[in-house]
Amino acid sequence: MTDEELKKKKTLLLEYSQLMQKEGLVIGPGGNTSIKDEDGVMWISPSGIPFMEMSIDDFVPIDVSTGKILDSRLMPSSEVALHLFLYQARSDINCIFHSHPPYVISLSSVDILLVPLFPDFVVYLGDYVPQVTYVTPCTEDMAQLVVQAMKDVPSCVLKNHGAIAVGKSIKEAYTRTQVLESGAQILFQAKLLGEPYVLSKKDSQAILNLEIEQYRKKLLQKSDK
């Protein structure tokens, strides 16, 4: 990857990280994001600096295979183990967003699991979003639980904490973060009115079989290029 290509990726990551803050999916210095480049280096947001106050030079480079920090001017996010373990376990992902979405956290605190109520949920998240039991944040214990829960799914909920979404592209990971919170808000509102209809596996598979949805997913995965 050339310096210009890396700069473009970091600029796009910062743009979507700041959008996450603008949309209320994190507050203050909360949340963290990262990308993995073609040389096996993870670029992760720094600890303690809100996205709106960051520059692209603030992302901290870490060797994915060894965990070695390659530039120690700034401390990496306190959830560095979470990002590192996921990249080590999942060769299919290039971006990670960790957010603190209000509706997701609200539902998780009373053990209401996210379920598919609308087609976009299925397209971007599948028909199952695992929830990881509460563990002290910023620990390897939490990171290991997330890796176990996300072996073959693109997202998970952290009870009383937040959400994780991954993707082949930055936009894919961010879109999944948005859909998680949208899904949580719709479920919250639906339960105020009654017991919502949950899309069945048959419903979900029919959506995934649609040619236009397959096209949209591929387009999103290539959106960084």
Could you tell me the CA-to-CA distances from 182 to 66, 75, 105, 110, 127 in Å, in that order?
36, 32, 12, 18, 15
Three-state DSSP at 213 gives helix
Is pLDDT at 130 greater than 90 in this prediction? yes
Neighbouring-strand partners of residue 60: 44
H or E segment to which residue 96 belongs: strand 95-99
Domain segments of the chain as ranges? 3-221
- Answer yes or no: is pLDDT of 219 > 90: no
The reported pTM is: 0.96
Q: What's the pLDDT tens digit per position in 69-82?
A: 999 899 999 999 99
**Superfamily for 3-221?**
Class II aldolase/adducin N-terminal domain (3.40.225.10)
Above 80 in pLDDT, residue 22? yes
pLDDT of residue 105: 98
Instruction: Identify the pLDDT of residue 125.
Output: 97
Question: Which tens digits make up the pLDDT trace of 109-119?
Answer: 999 999 999 99
Pairwise CA distance, residues 165 & 143, whole Å: 14
| pLDDT above 90 (res 149) | yes
For residue 221, is pLDDT > 90? no
Predicted confidence band of residue 218 (pLDDT cuts 50, 70, 90): confident
pLDDT of residue 104: 98
> Does position 216 have pLDDT exceeding 90, yes or no?
no
Share of the chain above pLDDT 70, in %: 100
